[in-house]
């Protein structure tokens, strides 16, 4: 018999977070989160997303053991401002038992029905800065700190339970050697002169902070046209600023400003922490933080996390300025691979950018939908 239990206490939430550690034990490709970091993201007193969103966390229990989990999420900004009556679900993991996955998804359906929502979609988080999608191709490649990994049977469960693919995401990779300085310098010289633009580089984190609010404002503007987008609120900007910016190497963040010092483009990259997180096994102490610090300094793989260009400057070659500055910063570090995190397959503009570097799609993932 399988029962569904809501998790609310600190002890229960820790069990919710730790279930994948058992499910993916000894898996070579799963990258564990930092347990305390995950718990904080679910804490209504810490994560400001709960000012406009709500979530319930459930596990499936069989023979007195947790065999699955799911988060049921309602984002009120999405519903009230975008008029998209969507029931989200995420952090969805389960053993290969159709009854388990069905009961967890039925619980989400039930909440959506009670709130008079029109459809459910997932897996996805609270916002666009959270993880997204079920992996459908690329199971034999290591994951990253900003993507979910899952077994191949996940997609089969969705199909059997009557879900349809809603959005497809692609992850690409290309050798850093494909980023050639000479053509980038030639194009950048023209673009800088034509639009009076200046790239900004940093060596100290404190010098980045005065620009971070502008960056998030530009993020909201540049991604507004995408069908999945939910704007980041002012209080969330402060939260992400404190949580993430100080964690990223300053030279891995690039901005482009116009003659009036208004930001027109940004890019955030980070070293790959995948292997370090596997070694940390969900804990910073006693040695986990040492693995992360080592990766921060020595990783030869770089993740391109976020890139945004103001709508007025899109398709005008501004990306060249960003990539030229990255080329200058990464070459002395001996970077080998550039990895792109999930992007909508329908986003042809960004696909054209990566094509210039002969990138290869090495993973595919998607969200699934079902009407309520």
> Cα 185 to chain center, whole Å?
30
Tokens 């996805």, located at residue: 124
Contact criterion met (CB below 8 Å) for 120 and 369? yes
Closest CA to 352 of 133, 170, 131: 170
Please report, for residues 57, 107, 143, the alpha-carbon distance to residue 6 in angstroms, rounded to integers and kept in the order given. 6, 10, 28
Q: Determine the pLDDT at residue 243.
A: 79
Ordered domains of the chain (ranges, CATH):
2-169 (3.40.630.30), 174-371 (3.40.630.30)
pLDDT per residue, tens digit, the chain (372 aa), is 999 999 999 999 999 999 999 999 999 999 999 999 999 999 999 999 999 999 999 999 999 999 999 999 999 999 998 889 999 999 999 999 999 999 999 999 999 999 999 999 999 999 878 999 999 999 999 999 999 999 999 999 999 999 999 999 999 999 999 999 999 999 999 999 999 999 999 999 999 999 999 999 998 888 877 766 777 888 888 888 887 787 889 999 999 999 999 999 999 999 999 999 999 999 999 999 999 999 999 999 999 998 999 999 988 999 999 999 999 999 999 999 999 999 999 887 777 778 889 999 999 999 999 999
Task: Determine how β-strand 86-94 pairs with β-strand 119-122.
Answer: parallel
- pTM listed for this prediction: 0.94
187 is written with which tokens? Answer: 């194009």
């Amino acid at each position: 018999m399988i029962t569904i239990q809501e998790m609310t206490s600190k002890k229960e939430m820790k069990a919710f977070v730790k279930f994948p550690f058992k499910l993916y034990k000894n898996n070579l490709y799963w990258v564990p989160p930092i347990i305390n970091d995950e718990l904080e993201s679910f804490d209504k007193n810490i994560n400001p997303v709960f000012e406009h969103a709500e979530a319930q966390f459930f596990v499936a229990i069989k023979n007195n053991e947790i065999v699955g989990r799911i988060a049921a999420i309602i984002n009120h900004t999405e519903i009230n401002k975008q008029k998209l009556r969507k029931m989200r679900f995420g952090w969805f993991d389960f053993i290969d038992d159709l009854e388990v996955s069905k009961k967890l998804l039925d619980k989400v359906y039930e909440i959506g029905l009670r709130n008079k929502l029109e459809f459910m979609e997932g897996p996805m988080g609270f916002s666009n800065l959270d993880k997204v999608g079920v992996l459908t191709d690329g199971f034999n490649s290591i994951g990253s700190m900003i993507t979910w990994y899952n077994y191949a049977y996940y997609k089969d469960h969705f199909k059997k339970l009557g879900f349809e693919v809603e959005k497809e995401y692609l992850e690409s990779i290309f050798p850093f050697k494909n980023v050639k300085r000479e053509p980038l310098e030639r194009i950048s010289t023209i673009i800088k002169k034509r639009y009076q633009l200046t790239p900004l580089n940093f060596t100290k984190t404190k010098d980045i902070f005065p620009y971070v609010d502008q960056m998030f404002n530009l993020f909201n503007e540049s991604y507004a046209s995408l069908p999945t987008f939910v704007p980041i609120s002012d209080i969330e900007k402060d939260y992400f600023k404190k949580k993430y910016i100080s964690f990223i190497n300053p030279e891995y963040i690039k901005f482009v400003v116009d003659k009036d010092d208004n930001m027109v483009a940004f890019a955030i990259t980070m070293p790959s922490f995948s292997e370090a997180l596997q070694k940390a096994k969900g804990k910073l102490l006693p040695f986990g933080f040492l693995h992360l610090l080592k990766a921060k300094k020595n990783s030869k793989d770089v993740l391109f996390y976020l890139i945004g260009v103001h709508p007025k400057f899109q398709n005008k070659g501004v990306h060249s300025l960003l990539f030229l500055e990255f080329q200058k910063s990464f070459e002395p570090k001996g970077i080998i691979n550039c990895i792109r995190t999930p992007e909508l397959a329908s986003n042809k503009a960004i696909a054209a950018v990566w094509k210039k570097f002969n990138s290869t799609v090495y993973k595919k993932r998607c969200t699934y939908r079902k009407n309520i």
